């Protein structure tokens, strides 16, 4: 029989416990006990936790030392109590009646992290919308205007860039980029002046070559050095260049005279060739086209 005080097993019908000497009740003395298994509350039993109701059999199997007086077979050790008090503990990986609370405790931080992430994302979206709505218009922002001027300057569109830098200084006189804009303006003036000087030198060279070709009567030939070639290049740089226009007019007059003389003599093919040379300098000239039509008609009659 088992003592209620110390839990020790007593063989036979004893009146007192042979371990703690506690009086055993009559009901206990006369009751027939069998070997029982004491299980630690709130957890499933493990082999090391099962203690035989018969100490002789338990200790004979080499499973432990005999406890002294006052030792209880039921109360768990301090380490075991600490283990099962820990959050999420599940002995042996076996789910029990308290496994749900452990799972809930483990998943709670994840849920909180998800909630905080959603709140942070919403805050970022609100901040971005606020910046979009309340920041000044890009077209009126100093850095944007200066960046557009820089793009124009890099593309070597100096006239447009000069105007943009000047407008930037007028609109944002206190901006920190004003000194750089002033430096760009000075650079543009220097570049424009250099290009202007190069253009003047190029025009002088072309005019000199055209006059030399005219003196040698190289009006249309050879292809690499003639009056029309040099004067056309000069007029591209300066469409109103009077010297180039005078040289071309002189060449036109020369071929018109040659064409009229050939027409009077009845050399219609030669007249047509001279008129076509006039058209090379004066494309689509109505009078020259009319002269060519007359020469063609006369040539047809002469056949």
Q: Give the pLDDT score at 53.
A: 45
Q: List Cα–Cα distances, 124 to 127, 132, 157, in angstroms.
A: 5, 12, 41
Q: Could you tell me the pTM of the whole model?
A: 0.48
Q: Report the length, in residues, of the chain.
A: 303
pLDDT of residue 107: 61
Radius of gyration of the chain (CA): 58
pLDDT of residue 52: 45
- Identify the pLDDT of residue 39: 53
Q: Give dist(CA 187, CA 191) in Å, integer.
A: 6
Boundaries of every domain in the chain: 1-86, 137-233, 241-303
**Could you tell me the two tokens for 33?**
């006990």
Q: What is the pLDDT of residue 46?
A: 54
Give mean pLDDT in consecutive 10-residue pieces for the chain, a chain of 303 residues: 77 75 60 49 51 47 48 46 47 46 58 84 74 51 93 93 95 94 95 93 96 96 95 95 96 96 94 95 94 92 71
């Amino acid at each position: 029989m088992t003592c209620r005080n110390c839990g020790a097993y007593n063989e036979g019908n004893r009146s007192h416990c042979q371990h703690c000497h506690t009086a055993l009740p009559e009901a206990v003395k006369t009751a027939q006990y069998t070997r029982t298994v004491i299980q630690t509350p709130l957890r499933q039993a493990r082999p090391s936790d099962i203690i035989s109701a018969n100490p002789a059999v338990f200790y004979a199997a080499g499973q432990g030392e005999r406890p002294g007086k006052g030792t209880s077979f039921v109360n768990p050790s301090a380490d075991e109590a600490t283990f099962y008090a820990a959050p999420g503990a599940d002995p042996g990986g076996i789910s029990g009646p308290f496994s749900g609370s452990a799972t809930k405790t483990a998943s709670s931080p994840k849920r909180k992290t998800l909630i905080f992430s959603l709140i942070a994302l919403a805050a970022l979206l609100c901040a971005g919308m606020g910046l979009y709505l309340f920041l000044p218009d890009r077209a009126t922002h100093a850095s944007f205007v200066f960046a557009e001027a820089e793009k124009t300057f890099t593309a070597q569109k100096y006239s447009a860039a000069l105007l943009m830098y000047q407008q930037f200084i007028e609109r944002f006189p206190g901006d920190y980029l004003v000194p750089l804009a002033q430096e760009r303006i000075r650079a543009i003036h220097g570049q424009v002046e250099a290009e202007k000087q190069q253009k003047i030198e190029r025009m002088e060279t072309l005019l000199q070559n055209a006059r030399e070709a005219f003196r040698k009567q190289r009006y249309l030939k050879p292809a690499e050095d003639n009056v029309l070639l040099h004067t056309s290049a000069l007029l591209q740089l300066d469409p109103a260049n009077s010297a180039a226009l005078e040289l071309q007019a002189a060449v036109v007059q020369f071929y018109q005279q040659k064409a009229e003389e050939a027409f009077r003599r009845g050399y219609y093919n030669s007249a047509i060739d001279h008129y076509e040379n006039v058209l090379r300098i004066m494309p689509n000239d109505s009078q020259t086209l009319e002269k060519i039509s007359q020469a063609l008609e006369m040539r047809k009659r002469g056949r």
